[in-house]
Amino acid sequence: MRDDYLRHAQIGLELAAAVLLGFWGGYKLDGRFGTAPWLMLAGAAAGLAAGFYLVLRELFAKEEEGKK
């Protein structure tokens, strides 16, 4: 039971970390190229997409685990 709570917390943290990392990377690139806020928004969107990919991968792994 505790492992399920930790797994759900991990999924949430992975999603948040992916979005924040994309946001931060875009922010830094905007500062370098002077394109604010476009690269920051693109980085956040890419981070969100990567975060959803991680969530879906984790859910499909749990589904496969349940079939065994």
Q: What is the pLDDT of residues 47-58, one digit of tens each?
A: 999 999 999 999
Mean per-residue pLDDT over the chain, rounded: 93
pLDDT at 48: 98
pTM metric for this prediction: 0.86
Could you state, in order of their start, the residue ranges of all structural domains in the chain?
16-66
Burial call 28-44: b when 16+ CB within 10 Å, e when fewer = ebbeeeeeeeebbebbb
Confidence check: pLDDT of 1 > 80: no
- Cβ(39)–Cβ(33) under 8 Å? yes
Average pLDDT of 9-30? 96
Give, for 15, the enclosing helix (H) or strand (E): helix 2-33
Instruction: Please name the amino acid found at residue 12.
Output: G
pLDDT at 8: 86
